[in-house]
Amino acid sequence: MTNPTSVNEITDFADSLAREAGELIRREREQNTLRTDYKEQTELVTHADVLADQLITAAIRKRFPGHRILSEETMPDLSQAEHLDTPLWIVDPIDGTVNYAYGHPQVAVSIAYAEKGRVQVGVVHAPFSNETFLARRGNGATLNGNSIQHSGATELRQSLFATGFPYTKDNLQPLVSRLDAMIHQCRDLRRIGSAALDICWVACGRLDIYYENVSPWDFAAARLIAIEAGAKAGHFSEVPEGYPADLWGRDILISAPAIWQPVRDLLRSASGYA
pLDDT, tens digit (0-9, with 9 covering 90-100), for 51-66: 999 999 999 999 999 9
pLDDT at residue 166, rounded to an integer: 84
Task: Phi first, then psi: give them for residue 64, nearest 5 degrees.
Answer: -130, 75
Q: What CATH number matches the domain at 156-271, 3.40.190.80, 3.30.450.20, 3.40.50.11740, 1.10.10.10?
A: 3.40.190.80
Which residues make Cβ contacts (< 8 Å) with residue 41, sequence separation at least 6?
Answer: none
pLDDT, tens digit (0-9, with 9 covering 90-100), for 110-152: 999 999 999 999 999 999 999 999 999 999 999 999 999 999 9
pLDDT at residue 38, rounded to an integer: 56
Secondary-structure class of domain 4-147 per CATH: alpha beta
Interhelix angle 195-203/216-228, nearest 10 degrees: 0
pLDDT at residue 73, rounded to an integer: 64
Cβ 206 vs Cβ 232: under 8 Å: no
Query: Taking the model in full, what pTM does it have?
Result: 0.93
Range with lowest mean pLDDT among 41-55, 122-136, 205-219, 228-242:
41-55
Cβ 90 vs Cβ 68: under 8 Å: no
pLDDT at residue 78, rounded to an integer: 64
The domain spans of the chain are 4-147, 156-271
Helices (H), 67-172: 97-102
d(CA 32, CA 133): 27
pLDDT above 70 for 11: yes
pLDDT above 90 for 43: no
Region 68-91: mean pLDDT is 78
Q: Categorize the per-residue pLDDT at 3 as very low, low, confident or very high, splitting at 50, 70 and 90.
A: low
Region 249-254: mean pLDDT is 97
pLDDT, tens digit (0-9, with 9 covering 90-100), for 151-210: 999 999 999 999 999 877 778 899 999 999 999 999 999 999 999 999 999 999 999 999
pLDDT above 80 for 211: yes
Percent of the chain at pLDDT > 70 equals 89
Q: Which amino acid belongs to residue 214?
A: V
89: left (phi > 0), else alpha (psi -120 to 50), else beta?
Answer: beta
Can you name the residues that pair with 116 across neighbouring β-strands? none
Task: Phi first, then psi: give them for residue 216, nearest 5 degrees.
Answer: -55, -40
